[in-house]
Structure 1
């Protein structure tokens, strides 16, 4: 019996070591010797880009989110299709309006010149996400690095990304399936404090929420005054479909906790924002963050980003370090 118990213990220990090995290989300062100036190069380029175009922060942050939720944080989102019949994640509907890929390629080229075949594209977009938040007056957190890049990318897999129209049950399930908590869901939703969205993402809330199609068919959870402001910017037809609207009006280039204050007032732009109030657990987190100082939100957001950055990572001898983020080696 003692031998059998010892055997099972050793098996369990081995399993725990295997499960934890990928995360353990990510650590802060992974490139301190192999490419000591990597993080400086990235932050320098991001700061220049933000000064040139203050609205680029949101899309770059979104690239990291959209990558991690498909196949894990392996930069599969950055791959271009090599066969028209086999589109990649970049071609999927949820990703077609992302931008910032040219800037990522520019930074990667500079890293390749400084340290050939060293810094992965997966680490690059994780560090970019941190740096755009910091450049928009948000927090700075240490990013564990050591990810390697995936070699597969399928458009169909990106169709399951968390949607702007998702309800709270779906959102909690999607995050839980990635090993992320309800608190992570709320904190990461706070990224909507920077960036823009297109009118087509909210027209159903404004004009045809239940499918009746009449002028009064609006999302009842939407604040009336905010509804009128959104309708003034986004018409019911297709004319304004691609028109940009601020996700956090008046503060869309400043990272702060104003997003949560808006959600509490039923002024979250997306249905997925409003949905955070439909569950006692997530609602409590939203109300708490709306009342707290930015410094508390900043610290907790940074940890939630680290948590997300651990999802499905490739480390060690898995994957590769792409020389060009848009194609496999």
Structure 2
């Protein structure tokens, strides 16, 4: 048999790549678990009614999962060290909500729905229940059998990151600078610990003086590391575009936030999002779907318990 030509090899690689990314479909569970989305929505509604902050927490959980090995629920594994990696320890939360959703889903459709897809749906519903947009989530992810603390430490942007570092880290995941700026708008909801923004409120010069003084009241120079502050001063429990208007007045809570509006390449886009909620919502949805495709088609399993690999 003749050896395959270069064109045949390239075509085979292209088809394999297409197959890996073509696996996801908004109708993936239409027959195997038709009530899935209602089950997730009900659990997320209850979780946010109990604690509005949980919407932001589940959105962040999805982001931190996707940037490490792709969107494969590796962050949910108790083993492997990913949960205790620097960007996640004492920071990422909402694991118990995912446990509850998984339990409810397993009762209806045992062994069918991946934990990775549950995280993706929970992030969408958390956003929407707090006033943000909704979208059809492509589904069909598999759950990883490994976790990686080292990749979490390498890939997740720190709150001290420069604009160049942010663009580079997002680019490593196939996300553009525009995607990065849109996804950063997730900081319009939720709260942050003092230790993550102390350096900004005491050391940065591109910060509104009254805003810095306000944050210093509950975040001293030493101690109080776990004290919380809202990411968005005006509407911390509502998903809107206030994050960007805050940046215009140098009220970004993280150094990395203010880097988006500090004389750099994203200034014009921040201005656009601050004046057009619809444009922000549209770009945010597109970026969320794009991020949700990271690692799509990876081999894995459907974990029965999101915290441990099937035995």
CA distance in 1, matches of 2:22, 2:191: 36
- Structure 2 gaps, min length 5: none
Structure 1 counterpart of 2:242, from 249, 252, 258: 258
Over 3 Å counting, the alpha-carbon distance change for 1:263 and 1:301 in structure 2 is same
Residue 184 of structure 2 corresponds to residue 189 of structure 1: yes
- TM-score, normalization by structure 2: 0.95
- TM-score, normalization by structure 1: 0.90
Residue in 1 that maps onto 2:39: 41
CA distance in 2, matches of 1:247, 1:206: 13
1:43-122 alignment runs, 5 A limit? 43-81=41-79, 87-96=80-89, 97-122=91-116
Structure 1 counterpart of 2:296, from 290, 294, 313: 313
- Structure 1 gaps, min length 5: 82-86, 208-217
Structure 1 counterpart of 2:8, from 3, 7, 10: 10
Residue 148 of structure 2 corresponds to residue 150 of structure 1: no
Residue in 2 that maps onto 1:275: 259
Superimposed CA distance per residue, residues 268-309 of structure 1 (whole angstroms, 9 cap, x where no aligned partner): 1001101112464322211111111x2222122111100000
Please provide the CA RMSD for this pair.
Answer: 1.6
Asked if the contact 2:23/2:297 (under 8 Å) is kept, the reply is no
CA distance in 2, matches of 1:233, 1:124: 35
Superimposed CA distance per residue, residues 46-97 of structure 1 (whole angstroms, 9 cap, x where no aligned partner): 011111111111111110000000111000000002xxxxx42111121122
Asked if the contact 1:168/1:278 (under 8 Å) is kept, the reply is no
Structure 2 counterpart of 1:288, from 261, 265, 272: 272
SS at match of 2:75: helix
Superimposed CA distance per residue, residues 69-127 of structure 1 (whole angstroms, 9 cap, x where no aligned partner): 0111000000002xxxxx42111121122211111101101111100110100100000
Residue in 2 that maps onto 1:303: 286
**CA displacement at 1:10 relative to structure 2:** 2.8
Q: Following TM superposition, where does structure 1 have runs of at least 4 consecutive aligned residues deviating by more than 4 angstroms?
A: none
SS at match of 2:83: helix
Asked if the contact 2:21/2:297 (under 8 Å) is kept, the reply is no
Superimposed CA distance per residue, residues 235-285 of structure 1 (whole angstroms, 9 cap, x where no aligned partner): 1111x2111100001311100001011112111100110111246432221
The higher radius of gyration belongs to: 1
* Count of aligned residue pairs for this structure pair: 307
